Structure 1
Amino acid sequence: MPRINAEVQTPGRRLRSEGKKTAILDAAETLFITEGYERTTVDAVAALAQVSKRTLYNHFSDKEIIFLRVLSRVNETLLSTISAAIDEELTTGRDLREALTAFTHRIVDRAFGSSDYLTFRRLLSQQQSVPRPPGAIRDRPLGMLEQRFTELAADGSIRAPRPRLAAQHFTALTISLAQEALLDHENEKDTEPPDLDAIIADGVDAFLRAYR
């Protein structure tokens, strides 16, 4: 009988444990953004999450691990947006210029304007002392686009013997330029909003001239 009770209670304990883990990450994200990585302490995270330090350390070994987990969690949401944009915009049989333009607009309009992207950028823009996510995590968006460009090259839609380089060129000509324009406008409030339509259209045209 005791064994049966323990088994019945296990899902509940697991749910409570996950709830505390989420609370810790939520609290840490808030503090890393408002206070900065250096000034945020494990004590402060535990207090804001309303858990004991022992509970916090049961889930995370130190502040660096917490920070990287917060980054990873936000990044996963962004990756879902990118994955959906690839699957729904870069579809087989669609006019390539139209598809690339729609894909880029979706990333620029939805991802860059999202709270998750702003959080990710604020966390990474802090002083150089903050831990950096592994290269494999940083490269995942490019890897996803590389895979689709590999498929486009295979069906003859683009000429790209090196799909990864093609993905890098496309990103540089479109998404990166749009991001720079948005950041410049954000830093200089009195300037006119950037013409994202023109930036994206010019970038897509330049890419297609080189790869089609």
Structure 2
Amino acid sequence: MAKAQTPGRRQRSENKQAAILDAAELLFVRDGYELTSVDAIAAEAKVSKRTVYDHFGDKRTLFEGVLTRVADALTTTVHTAIDEELTAGRDLREGLTAFAMRVVTTAFPSSDYVAFQRLTSQGRAAPVLPRAVHDQPEDLLEKRFTELAAGGEIQAPDAARATKHFTALTVLLALEELRTEPARAATEIPGIIADGVDAFLRAYRR
């Protein structure tokens, strides 16, 4: 029977796993999935190749671990924004505007988002994020919209569709501005989000 790990050994194991994930993320983002080898990851993490295999099995599983970790970080950012901006009793227009601005100014400029975009656009060879994980941020907002509908704040028989409409009118338009006109994005985005929130409320609050 295998012996239970002591706290010290467990911590060392966790530290090695984190170092491997950090190294793998750096190399997968910089060089891509196909050009990154387990040898290179091990060297970057300053561990043996065997240690990488012991923790993750193979390169594909390691890539999935990196992708999931980055996605989880973005989900946490969105979750925090929902909990702190879309609060009970707050003016809905104010809350929706603050939420969208927070996502745009916190999530999009983050290294996690940059890594996520790079990791999810590497072609057919690279593993893809499971849909359930990919959709977590949107699912969290859908849940809050369901609560808002139940409380009479919005009229949304289909909270999933309402979520997509809100995201398209605010966050995605802001992201497009960031991509196409980065120099003027800072001045344009508040207006884009304000207009999007107004359009959403005209459709969903009667």
Task: Work out whether the TM-score is over 0.5.
Answer: yes
TM-score of the aligned structures, taking structure 1 as reference length? 0.90
Q: Distance in 1 between matches of 2:119 and 2:130?
A: 15
Name stretches of at least 5 consecutive residues in structure 1 with no aligned partner: 1-5
1:162 aligned to 2:158? yes
Report the CA distance between 1:50 and its aligned residue.
1.4
- Structure-to-structure mapping, 1:9-88, within 5 angstroms: 10-88=6-84
Within the candidate set 163, 181, 189, 1:196 is matched to 189
CA RMSD across the alignment: 1.5
Report the secondary structure of 1:157's partner residue: coil
* Aligned partner letter, 1:193: A
Greater gyration radius:
1
1:69-103: CA deviation from partner (whole Å, max 9, x where unpaired): 11111111111111111011101111111110000
Runs of 4+ with >4 A deviation: none
How many residues align? The count is 202
Q: Distance in 1 between matches of 2:70 and 2:42?
A: 20
Within the candidate set 83, 88, 92, 1:92 is matched to 88
Name stretches of at least 5 consecutive residues in structure 2 with no aligned partner: none
Q: Distance in 2 between matches of 1:32 and 1:208?
A: 41
Give percent identity, aligned residues only.
59
Q: Distance in 1 between matches of 2:178 and 2:123?
A: 22
TM-score of the aligned structures, taking structure 2 as reference length? 0.93
Report the secondary structure of 1:58's partner residue: helix
Report the CA distance between 1:114 and its aligned residue.
1.2
Report the CA distance between 1:192 and its aligned residue.
3.5
